[in-house]
């Protein structure tokens, strides 16, 4: 099962490599990874997605919690949550295709953020599923795909903070 | 406030931590620190002959005293030589602080002379690591390092120090922090009281219980409480390789070590138990055999300070996270509070069954009638000569298993071996750490002719610091444990498991300034052993020739259950 684990950790050199190292050391996989400082610059928020059964995820979260720099973490998939990912994609768009691509972008509520005579650069945010679906829809014309990796927060009152 | 250089801060901080011994080896990147060491006397530096030995010696010191071992090595090769010892300490959860020199900070990343990314290399084998970026942080980093190494589940902590941060030219105010501020690290202490009560209720209901105690009881100072609980409940108790000594092996309720080379009765008792109380143990693969077939009828209560070992290999029915010492005390209190007694009738039946297993196959071996010694006899002779009171360190191989099986350890911290990593070369240097900590104690290193050669150079260190260790070399002229597997699984093809061209160990010991004794016949063994221990202020190397064909039994049959064992070359369960 796919999980979104969100980690609050010390914004210190070496912290990220310890988190990433833990995954390779223990044979867990990381599918996506995003990290940036929070409003408190001493803390970073790292969000990753991974796959595993309950037993594996339990081990992953326990071992992450043991890392000295990890302050707190949450498995967002355990409760209602909002998940977002940013996609930038360059799409070949010439002749009749231009209108077709534009229509698809509109359907997915994306934006064209750069234009040349033969290319649209499209920006799209949403769940990973939605981005997958968009890429599927324009696949034949795709020239380059950049995805930010998933970030997320729990719905409602729940916050991850110290 | 007093002003110190970074190098002086390092040494002063070690003094402020109460460090007695610093095991190390100098080199370019740590010369400022060595100069600061030269100018004081509180911290005694022990100059080893190879950095691996520095880490094992610090480790032996830590295992025998419970205090953290401290190591200082230079950058590059000095640091990489220490890696095996750091990994050894990590696998067995031993508190250790390793200071490694680093090239000057403006050269880091340039492939400078003797530059190695030590923090990177050690990431998977340390509890935590620090890279010093600023001289002013040195006292706080050292304080944190000791705190992290010694609390929670202990482990090695690395501090990488670039040379320029220890320069005598820069002096800064020094104050050793009295407290540690670490918002992201708060090791648990007490276990959950509800879980403890639930566990005790299960214990009192059990008809076929066993207590399975591991290294966490030794390291977590839980022995005293364990003994009280075991006696109060009249349950059988077994130890892991790492847990030996946490419960007196000569006591009636002790049924021996369990696992791959555990006693028949311990493995049978585990397999047939209806309740297993695991204390400071981690259901290691050398213990459980195939986890799918493990103790099919048992409720599992698991106590450990590290939540990540609970339900990792075997699902716990009642997990309790906390310090072993505290949880056991709370359990004792809960037994009194609940007021009911364990099921006496059921326990009597259970003990009958266990005593039956004891009779079927207690520890035993056949002796040779041609005078050629069996390795087990050597350990028995050592036990007799030391009246069971020695600290025994070991290397890795058959001799290690024989020592674990035949030396009856009655006290915690008496048995010192590399269980998790299985590091050949551990025995002699770890014995140095023990002997330094306890100068008047009997310290024996049970080793093999292969293992001892992995850190034989330390005979020189032993002479320099007058360490009267007794090295008991169980010499089977082969990589015995490898050979045993080849006998059992590779049709007896002894690929590279034969130790040819052995040195004359007696002459070797003598050339290092020690005493050497060679034993070739069974009738000479006891006298040689007694002579070795009568030479109280000398290191004695006792080289005992033994039967190379001997195997360690019992031995788990691979992919079977706990109860599936070879009992000799021909008998199996
Ligand atoms: C550093 C290291 N290399 C290899 C091994 C694999 N190994 C385990 S036991 C053993 C043989 C040890 O021989 P010896 O020290 O003579 O002990 P014996 O088994 O003969 O008693 C070997 C090679 C190891 N444990 N550690
Ligand atoms: Mg040997």
Contact assignment for A71 to B312 by CB distance below 8 Å:
no
Q: What are phi and psi of B496, to 5 degrees?
A: 60, 25
Q: Give Cα B460 to chain centroid, integer Å.
A: 24
What pLDDT is recorded for position B371?
87
Q: Which residues of A touch B119 (CB under 8 A)?
A: 14
Q: What is the pLDDT along chain B (573 residues), one digit of tens a residue?
A: 899 999 999 999 999 999 999 999 999 999 999 999 999 999 999 999 999 999 999 999 999 999 999 999 999 999 999 999 999 999 999 999 999 999 999 999 999 999 999 999 999 999 999 999 999 999 999 999 999 999 999 999 999 999 999 999 999 999 999 999 899 898 988 999 999 999 999 999 999 999 999 999 999 999 999 999 999 999 999 999 999 999 999 999 999 999 999 999 999 999 999 999 999 999 999 999 999 999 999 999 999 999 999 999 999 999 999 999 999 999 999 999 999 999 999 999 999 999 999 998 878 899 999 989 999 999 999 999 999 999 999 999 999 999 999 999 999 999 999 999 999 999 999 999 999 999 999 999 999 999 999 999 999 999 999 999 999 999 999 999 999 999 999 999 999 999 889 999 999 999 999 999 999 999 999 999 999 999 999 999 999 999 999 999 999 999 999 999 999 999 999
Task: Provide, as residue numbers in chain A, all residues whose Cβ is less than 8 Å from the Cβ of B128.
Answer: 68
Single pTM value for the model: 0.96
B114 is known as an active-site residue: yes
Confidence at residue B63, expressed as pLDDT on a 0 to 100 scale? 98
For ligand 1, is residue B127 a contact (CB within 6 Å)? no
B312 in contact with A, Cβ within 8 Å:
yes
Answer yes or no: B265 catalytic: no
Q: How far apart are CA B525 and CA B548, in angstroms?
A: 17
Cα(B543)–Cα(B499) distance, rounded to whole angstroms?
15
Are A28 and A60 in contact by the 8 Å Cβ rule? The answer is yes
Residue B528 is inside which H or E element, if any? Answer: helix B525-534
Q: Hey, are the CB atoms on B185 and A68 less than 8 Å from each other? A: yes
Helix (DSSP H) and strand (DSSP E) numbers for chain A? 4, 9
Strands B275-279 and B237-239: unpaired
CB-based contacts of B76: which residues, under 8 Å, 6+ apart?
B27, B29, B113, B114, B115, B116
Positive or negative torsion for Cα B260, B265, B268, B273: negative
B307–A55 CB contact, under 8 Å: no
Token pair in block for residue B515: 């005493």
How high is the pLDDT of residue A162?
Answer: 86
pLDDT at position B360: 86
* Per-residue pLDDT at B189: 86
Give the residue whose CA is nearest to atom 1 of ligand 1. B424
For residues B65 and B413, what is the distance between their CA atoms, to the nearest angstrom? Answer: 7
Distance CA B331, CA B200 (A): 6
Please give, rounded to a whole number of angstroms, the shortest distance from the CA of A81 to a CA of chain B. Answer: 25
For residue B472 and ligand 1, the question of a CB distance below 6 A is answered with no
Cα–Cα distance for residue pair B120/B80, rounded to 1 Å:
11
- CB contacts of A42 in chain B (<8 Å) are none
> In what order do the strands lie in the sheet containing B96-102?
B44-47, B21-24, B69-73, B96-102, B156-162, B128-131
Report mean pLDDT in 10-residue bins for chain A, 162 residues: 96 94 92 96 97 92 96 96 97 92 96 96 97 95 97 94 88
* Residue B267 contacts residue B236 (beta carbons within 8 Å): no
- Taking residue B171's Cβ as centre, other Cβ atoms within 10 Å add up to 15
Tell me if residue B286 falls in helix, strand or coil: helix
Q: Are B237 and B210 in contact (CB under 8 A)?
A: yes
Of how many residues is chain B composed? 573
* Closest chain A residue to the Cα of B145, Cα to Cα: A68
DSSP label at residue B478: B
Model ipTM value: 0.92
The yes-or-no answer on residue B51 being catalytic is yes
At B21 the pLDDT is: 98
Q: Is the CB of B497 under 6 A from ligand 1?
A: no
Given a contact cutoff of 8 angstroms between Cβ atoms, the answer to whether B85 and B59 are in contact is yes
Residue B433 CA, distance from chain mean position: 12
Q: Which long-range contacts (CB under 8 A, 24 or more apart) does B487-491 make?
A: B487/B551, B488/B551, B488/B555, B488/B566
What residue in A sits closest to B154 (Cα-Cα)? A66
Nearest to A21 among B124, B307, B312 (CB): B124
Q: How far apart are CA B176 and CA B14, in angstroms?
A: 10
**Tell me, what's the pLDDT at B553?**
96
Residues with CB under 5 A from ligand 2 (ion): B 448-450, 476, 480
Q: For B344-371, how does the pLDDT look when each residue is reduced to its tens digit (9 = 90+)? A: 999 999 999 999 999 988 788 999 999 8
What is the predicted pLDDT for the residue at A109?
97
- Read out DSSP for A32-86? EEEEEE-SSTTEEEEEEEEE--HHHHHHHHHHHHHSTTEEEEEEGGGS-EEEEEE
Radius of gyration (Cα) for chain A, nearest Å? 18
| B106-133: b (≥16 Cβ within 10 Å) or e | eeeeeeeebbbebbebbbebbbbbbbbe
3-state secondary structure of B300: strand
- Tell me: the pLDDT tens digits for B394-437? 999 999 999 999 999 999 999 999 999 999 999 999 999 999 99
Does residue B481 have an active-site annotation?
yes
Reduce the DSSP state of residue B568 to 3 states and report it. coil
CA-CA distance, A45 to B460, in Å (whole number)?
Answer: 52
């Amino acid at each position: 099962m796919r999980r979104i684990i969100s980690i609050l950790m010390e914004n210190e050199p070496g912290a990220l490599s310890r988190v990433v190292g833990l995954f390779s050391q223990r044979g867990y996989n990381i599918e996506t990874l995003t990290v940036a400082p929070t409003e408190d610059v001493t803390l970073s928020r790292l969000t990753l997605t991974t796959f595993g059964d309950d037993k594996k995820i339990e081990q992953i979260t326990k071992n992450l919690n043991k890392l000295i720099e990890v302050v707190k973490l949450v498995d967002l998939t355990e409760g209602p949550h909002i998940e977002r990912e940013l996609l930038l994609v360059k799409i070949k768009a010439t002749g009749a295709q231009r209108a077709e691509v534009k229509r698809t972008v509109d359907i997915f509520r994306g934006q064209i953020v750069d234009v040349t005579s033969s290319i649209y650069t499209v920006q799209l945010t949403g769940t990973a599923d939605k981005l997958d679906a968009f890429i599927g829809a324009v696949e034949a014309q795709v020239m380059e795909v950049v995805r930010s990796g998933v970030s997320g927060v729990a719905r409602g009152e729940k916050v991850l903070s110290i | 406030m007093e002003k110190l250089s970074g190098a002086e801060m390092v040494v002063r901080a070690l003094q402020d931590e109460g460090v007695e011994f610093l095991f190390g080896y100098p080199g370019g990147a740590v010369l400022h620190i060595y100069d600061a060491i030269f100018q004081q006397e509180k911290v005694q530096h022990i100059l080893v002959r190879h950095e691996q030995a520095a880490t094992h010696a610090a480790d032996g010191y830590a295992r025998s005293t419970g205090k953290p071992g401290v190591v200082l090595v230079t950058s590059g090769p000095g640091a990489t030589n220490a890696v095996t010892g750091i990994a050894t300490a990590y696998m067995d959860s031993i508190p250790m602080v390793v200071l490694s020199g680093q090239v000057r900070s403006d050269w880091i990343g340039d492939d400078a002379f003797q530059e190695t990314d030590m923090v990177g290399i050690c990431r998977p084998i340390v509890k935590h690591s620090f890279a010093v970026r600023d001289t002013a942080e040195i006292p706080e980093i050292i304080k944190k390092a000791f705190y992290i190494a010694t609390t929670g589940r202990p482990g090695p902590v690395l501090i990488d120090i670039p040379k320029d941060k220890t320069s005598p030219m820069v002096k800064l105010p020094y104050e050793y922090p009295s407290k540690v501020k670490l918002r992201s690290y708060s090791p648990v202490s007490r276990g959950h009281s509800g879980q403890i009560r639930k566990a005790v209720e299960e214990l009192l209901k059990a008809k076929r219980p066993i207590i399975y105690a591991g290294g966490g009881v030794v390291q977590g100072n839980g022995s005293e409480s364990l003994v009280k609980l075991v006696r109060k409940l009249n349950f059988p108790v077994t130890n892991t390789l790492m847990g030996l000594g946490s419960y007196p092996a000569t006591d009636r309720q002790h049924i021996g070590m369990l696992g791959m080379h555990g006693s028949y009765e311990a493995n049978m008792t585990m397999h047939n138990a209806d309740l297993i109380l695991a204390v400071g143990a981690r259901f290691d693969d050398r213990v459980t055999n195939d986890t799918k077939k493990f103790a099919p009828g048992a409720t599992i209560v698991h106590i450990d300070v590290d939540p990540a070992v609970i339900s990792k290999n075997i699902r716990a029915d009642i997990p309790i996270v906390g310090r072993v010492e505290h949880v056991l005390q709370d359990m004792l209190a809960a037994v009194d509070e609940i007021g009911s007694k364990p099921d006496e009738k059921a326990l009597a039946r259970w003990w009958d069954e266990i005593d039956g297993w004891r009779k079927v196959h207690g520890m035993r071996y056949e002796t040779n009638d041609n005078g050629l010694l069996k390795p087990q006899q050597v350990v028995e002779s050592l036990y007799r000569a030391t009246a069971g009171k020695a600290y025994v360190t070991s290397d890795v191989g058959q001799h290690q298993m024989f020592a674990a099986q035949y030396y009856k350890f009655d006290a915690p911290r008496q048995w010192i071996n590399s269980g998790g990593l299985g590091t050949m070369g551990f025995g002699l240097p770890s014995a140095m750490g023990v002997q330094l900590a306890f100068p008047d104690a009997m310290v024996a290193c049970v080793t093999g002719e292969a293992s001892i050669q992995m850190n034989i150079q330390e005979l020189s260190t032993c002479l320099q610091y007058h360490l009267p260790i007794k090295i008991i070399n169980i010499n089977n002229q082969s990589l015995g444990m490898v050979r045993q597997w080849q006998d059992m699984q590779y049709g007896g093809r002894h690929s590279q498991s034969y130790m040819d061209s052995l040195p004359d160990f007696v002459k070797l010991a003598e050339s290092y300034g020690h005493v050497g004794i060679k034993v070739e016949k069974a009738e000479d063994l006891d006298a040689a052993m007694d002579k070795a221990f009568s030479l109280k202020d000398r290191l004695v190397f006792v080289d005992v020739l033994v039967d190379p064909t001997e195997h360690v039994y019992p031995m788990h049959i691979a992919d079977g259950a706990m109860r599936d064992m070879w009992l000799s070359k021909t008998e199996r369960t």
